[in-house]
């Protein structure tokens, strides 16, 4: 690490500790040449993740958009902010762990629906009705019917 005072490239780490948010490590360094101390931060490099929308346009991945959709679906439901944050974090982690630079919104939507189905069925139906764009009652009833059938199969298992 180059010293900011004398520009020597020889320094030693005196102290290391995680930052408050845990996303990086703070290192206190001492320059071997001039003996002055300075602080550096080390952070994991993340891949820029793009989302492929339905119209094939691309935009930067934004976990806040996922959170907003989930919060909307969970409105007045017994779902805590912590549960929502955990769900968003899991989906974000899966997206980054694919090691792909692009992920379609359809994949993200399906992950959200699967997680909501396990968390709160009413929130799942709310999200699905917007995501799948139910245009009439029969389509909505078909989804409800599918959900009820899956629940009966799980209850028997």
Q: Are 95 and 108 in contact (CB under 8 A)?
A: yes
Residue 152 has pLDDT above 80, yes or no: no
Question: 148 vs 46, which has greater pLDDT?
Answer: 148
How many C-beta atoms surround the C-beta of residue 139 within 10 A?
A: 13
Strand order, beta sheet including 50-52: 58-60, 50-52, 102-104
d(CA 92, CA 87): 9
**5-34 mean pLDDT:** 92
Task: Name the packing angle between helices 121-131 and 137-156 (round to 10°).
Answer: 140
Handedness of CA 116, 117, 122, 125 (dihedral sign): positive
Which tens digits make up the pLDDT trace of 102-144?
999 999 999 999 999 899 989 998 998 888 777 788 888 888 8
Per DSSP, the three-state class of 139 is: helix
Question: 146 vs 80, which has greater pLDDT?
Answer: 80
pLDDT of residue 110: 92
Instruction: Extract the tokens encoding 9.
Output: 């490239």
Which tens digits make up the pLDDT trace of 29-86?
999 999 999 999 988 777 789 999 999 999 999 999 999 999 999 999 999 999 999 9
d(CA 58, CA 55): 9
Main-chain dihedrals φ then ψ at residue 45, nearest 5 degrees: -80, 125
pLDDT of residue 154: 73
Residue 70 to residues 4, 18, 88, 125, 150: CA-CA distances in angstroms? 45, 31, 8, 11, 22
pLDDT of residue 84: 95
Which band of pLDDT confidence, cut at 50, 70 and 90, is reported for residue 157? low
Of residues 47, 122, 119, the one with CA closest to residue 83: 119
Q: Are 40 and 27 in contact (CB under 8 A)?
A: yes
């Amino acid at each position: 690490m180059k010293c900011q005072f004398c520009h020597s490239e020889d320094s030693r780490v005196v102290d290391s500790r995680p930052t408050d948010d845990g996303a990086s490590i703070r290192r206190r360094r001492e320059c071997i040449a001039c003996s002055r101390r300075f602080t550096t931060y080390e952070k994991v490099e993340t891949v820029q993740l793009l989302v492929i929308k339905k119209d094939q346009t691309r935009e930067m991945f934004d976990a806040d958009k996922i959170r907003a959709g989930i919060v909307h679906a969970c409105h007045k439901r017994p779902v805590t902010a912590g549960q929502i944050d955990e769900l968003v974090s899991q989906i974000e982690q899966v997206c980054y762990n694919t090691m792909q630079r692009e992920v379609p919104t359809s994949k993200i939507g399906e992950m959200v629906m699967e997680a909501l189905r396990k968390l709160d069925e009413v929130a799942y139906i709310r999200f699905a009705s917007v995501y799948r764009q139910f245009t009439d009652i029969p389509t909505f009833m078909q989804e409800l019917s599918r959900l009820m059938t899956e629940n009966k199969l799980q209850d028997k298992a």
